[in-house]
A and B are shown apart, each in its own frame.
Chain A
Amino acid sequence: MDVNMTYATQDMWTWWLAIYLYFGGLGAATLAVTFLTDMYLKPNRALVIWGAGAGVVLLALGSLMLFGHLLDKTAVLTILNPMAMLDQSTAWIAWGTQFIIWMMVWGVLYALPYVRETEFPRKVPGIRDLIDKPFVIGTAKLVQSFHRSVGWLAVINGVGVAVYTGLLLQSFPAVALWHNPAVPLLFTVSAFSTAMAFLLVLMYTLLHDQADEHVRVLYERIDLVLIAAELVILFSLYQYLKNGSESGVRSMELLWNDYGWLIGFIGFGLIVPFLLELKGVMRGWASRVPILTAAVLVLAGGYLLRHYFMYAGVYAYPW
């Protein structure tokens, strides 16, 4: 019966889903890293506002990608209900939606006291009126009393979002490229790596404060370790794919014969930034350009990973 297999990729979830996964992982990990930095390393108002802002904006944009492609947009109300997570406990989209919503809620709450102390929002008419409302002032004071608890709630949901992006793909059993334990790990590591890169770009450009030098160095070191971990996971994934099911072998051939994956993602998205950051950590750079370059490459590589993953999943049909 299965002597005449047909192998096919899918066109149901394409680049827009890759953007959803990319923005989801990047935004959530950025929020989690900035909040943890603020709580345990160095209180940093600007970083928290940027982290929460990036988290909310990127997650909103990513979610819009998915929402825009729903067949019946009104039915989305079902999964906005937190009970959907329990009713459909095996469906990662149900979990992911709740993680996204609550990450945004706790993220905005955590940043609220900082936003009220910051000058810029007061220049924006709508926001100025809003943050001076008694209800918002009271909320900010309440959050201040439980600042770390609120921060942890945001971080937990943020990590949940980052892990969810991989678990979602992993839950599709027909495709060997997706249905393996390396995928959630790879996507989580990539999410945090791109978050480090995003924050490095931010801290070397818009938030360039000499007092944050040790934070930048720490981010560079963490990113270096994360890129190394990503390379190890990819190597393991390659070993898994090359001798296994035909679906896996064909995905491996699609990916490793494509210059966009091989040179674009692995070469310029991982190895080049790894070497640039390694030199920075070992001997330092005289200029910020190499680290900025590395960070931009990591950010581009993060998207390429998800883009190619979506297009290279191979289904094996017995007809």
Chain B
Amino acid sequence: MTHYAMVIDLNTCVGCNACMAACAMENQTPVWDKNKWRTYVHDKEIGLGSDVQRRFFPRLCNHCDNPPCMTVCPTGATQKKANGIVFVDQDLCMGCGACAMACPYHARVPVTRRDMREGREFYGSDYRRSSPSMDKCSFCDHLVEQGRKPACVETCVGSSRMFGDLDDPNDPVAQMVASGAARALMPHIGTRPNVYYIDDIRWRG
């Protein structure tokens, strides 16, 4: 059984934001509102005085094995595939926002009718969305089904983002996770996320 996961190496993320752009164009997200991107790279300055480092931290839906956004969804719009991808059925979603309240990773965002109007202007006749809903990263499941990788992974210039199958012992992603080099965010919450991070060692000592 396939179990998709992503590993993000914080050492090689250069903060170019190409992943954000690729995701937005692939999934037609509301780029006019920075709070509504499916993936976002946080740019933070860390340190004191002259010893300050910039740190880029990409975030996205963690496609949890125990997703609280799915648990609280009253309409069943948030679903999980057998391959581990958590997705939203836009037609079922009534947009109550409970998923956004439940998500510890700030990965659920509202796409409103106003966003759809803007979307039709911005993306033109190719705009696909037919109803407003709570939106989220889908690991570009439409690309994955074609044997490709998510748009953010395909476009990542530093190979910071890696996508693979946790159930395949020969997959580098599975190996990085199994070795403990890549770790999940906030595992104590019990969400069992499938996005792992390799810590940046630049300012560790």
A→B interface (CB under 8 Å): 1-2, 4, 8, 10, 12-13, 66, 69-73, 75-76, 78-79, 84, 87-88, 90-94, 97, 168, 171-174, 315-319
- Whether B72 lies near A76 (C-beta < 8 A) is no
Which of A94, A97, A319 is close to B59, meaning CB atoms less than 8 Å apart? A319
- Whether A72 lies near B131 (C-beta < 8 A) is yes
Interface of chain B residues 37 through 52 with chain A (CB within 8 A): 42, 44, 46
Instruction: Kindly state the separation between the CA atoms of A73 and B95 in the bound complex, as whole angstroms.
Output: 8
Which of B112, B189, B191, B197 is close to A71, meaning CB atoms less than 8 Å apart? B112
Q: Tell whether A70 pairs with B189 under 8 Å between CB atoms, given A78-B75, A88-B76, A93-B74.
A: no
Instruction: Kindly state the separation between the CA atoms of A13 and B96 in the bound complex, as whole angstroms.
Output: 9
Which of A1, A2, A12 is close to B100, meaning CB atoms less than 8 Å apart? A12
Interface of chain B residues 183 through 201 with chain A (CB within 8 A): 183, 185-186, 189-191, 197, 199
Which of A10, A75, A316 is close to B101, meaning CB atoms less than 8 Å apart? A10
List chain A residues, Cβ under 8 A from B77: 75
- Whether B186 lies near A318 (C-beta < 8 A) is yes
In this complex, what residue of B is CB-closest to A78?
Answer: B75
- Whether A75 lies near B92 (C-beta < 8 A) is yes
Instruction: Kindly state the separation between the CA atoms of A97 and B75 in the bound complex, as whole angstroms.
Output: 11
Which of B55, B71, B97, B189 is close to A13, meaning CB atoms less than 8 Å apart? B97
Instruction: Kindly state the separation between the CA atoms of A66 and B185 in the bound complex, as whole angstroms.
Output: 32
Q: Tell whether A319 pairs with B57 under 8 Å between CB atoms, given A71-B111, A78-B92, A174-B189.
A: yes
Q: Tell whether A93 pairs with B95 under 8 Å between CB atoms, given A71-B111, A173-B102.
A: no
- Whether B189 lies near A173 (C-beta < 8 A) is yes
- Whether A92 lies near B101 (C-beta < 8 A) is no
Give the Cβ gap from B76 to chain A, nearest Cβ, in Å: 5
State whether the Cβ of B103 lies closer than 8 Å to any Cβ in chain A: yes
Which of B106, B132, B199 is close to A72, meaning CB atoms less than 8 Å apart? B132
List chain A residues, Cβ under 8 A from B111: 71
List chain B residues, Cβ under 8 A from A4: 44, 46, 55, 57
Interface of chain B residues 64 through 98 with chain A (CB within 8 A): 68, 71-77, 91-98
- Whether B72 lies near A70 (C-beta < 8 A) is no
- Whether A75 lies near B191 (C-beta < 8 A) is no
B→A interface (CB under 8 Å): 10, 42, 44, 46, 55, 57, 59, 68, 71-77, 91-98, 100-106, 110-113, 131-134, 183, 185-186, 189-191, 197, 199
List chain B residues, Cβ under 8 A from A168: 98
- Whether A73 lies near B94 (C-beta < 8 A) is yes
Instruction: Kindly state the separation between the CA atoms of A75 and B96 in the bound complex, as whole angstroms.
Output: 10
- Whether B134 lies near A88 (C-beta < 8 A) is no
Instruction: Kindly state the separation between the CA atoms of A90 and B75 in the bound complex, as whole angstroms.
Output: 11
Instruction: Kindly state the separation between the CA atoms of A116 and B105 in the bound complex, as whole angstroms.
Output: 55
12 extra interface residue pairs, beta carbon distance < 8 Å, beyond A4-B57, A93-B98: A1-B197, A4-B44, A12-B97, A69-B97, A78-B92, A84-B74, A88-B76, A93-B96, A171-B68, A171-B102, A173-B190, A315-B106
Give the Cβ gap from B133 to chain A, nearest Cβ, in Å: 6
List chain A residues, Cβ under 8 A from B93: 71-72, 75
In this complex, what residue of B is CB-closest to A11?
Answer: B35
**What are 30 sample pairs from A and B whose C-beta atoms fall under 8 A apart?**
A1-B10, A1-B183, A1-B185, A1-B197, A12-B101, A66-B96, A70-B94, A71-B93, A71-B111, A72-B131, A75-B75, A75-B94, A78-B92, A79-B74, A79-B94, A84-B74, A88-B76, A90-B72, A94-B74, A171-B71, A172-B102, A173-B68, A173-B102, A173-B189, A174-B102, A315-B106, A317-B105, A318-B57, A318-B185, A319-B44
Give the Cβ gap from B27 to chain A, nearest Cβ, in Å: 17
Give the Cβ gap from B132 to chain A, nearest Cβ, in Å: 4
- Whether B75 lies near A84 (C-beta < 8 A) is yes
List chain B residues, Cβ under 8 A from A318: 57, 185-186
List chain B residues, Cβ under 8 A from A92: 72, 74
List chain B residues, Cβ under 8 A from A88: 73-76
- Whether B92 lies near A172 (C-beta < 8 A) is no
Instruction: Kindly state the separation between the CA atoms of A228 and B141 in the bound complex, as whole angstroms.
Output: 53
